Structure 1
Amino acid sequence: MIDENGDCIDNTTNVVYKVFQNVWTSKNNMRAFEIILYLTFSDMYRFYRSYSALFY
């Protein structure tokens, strides 16, 4: 949940929300977002390749 001040109420997602908020409002926000997406999906792709190699 997010209150009227834009702060996240739920403690479990508070840190992630703050980091995301800082990245999103930074000067190079889209570039940082692209880098995060690239790193995340490249790790997922490598995991998928190594995982599927066990069965094929």
Structure 2
Amino acid sequence: MRNIFRGPFQGLSGASGDESTQLQFISRLLPVLTGVIGVAGTLAWWRYADQT
């Protein structure tokens, strides 16, 4: 994915060099992890909620 804010904001965030790679990995991991937790929570709610 092309990062359109790379030039002007890269220096402000302090993300450069090796830290940029780590930041990019975490930036992609967090939404995926949030989605997985959300789906698991929804399925658990459907399974164990009192539906009487």
Q: TM-score, normalised to structure 1's length?
A: 0.49
* Structure richer in helix, relative to its length: 2
Specify every segment of 5 or more residues in structure 1 that has no aligned partner in the other structure, as ranges: 1-18, 20-25
Q: Name which one, 1 or 2, has greater alpha-carbon Rg.
A: 2
Paired residues, what number? 32
1:40 aligned to 11, 32, 38, which one? 32
Q: Output the amino acid matched with 2:39.
A: F
If the length of structure 2 is used for normalisation, what is the TM-score? 0.53
Q: Alpha carbon RMSD of aligned pairs, Å? A: 1.8
Q: Identity of paired residues, percent?
A: 12
> Which contiguous aligned blocks of 4+ residues in structure 1 show a shift greater than 4 angstroms?
none
Structure 2 alignment gaps of length 5 or more:
2-15
Mapping 1:21-36, distance limit 5 Å: 27=17, 28-36=20-28
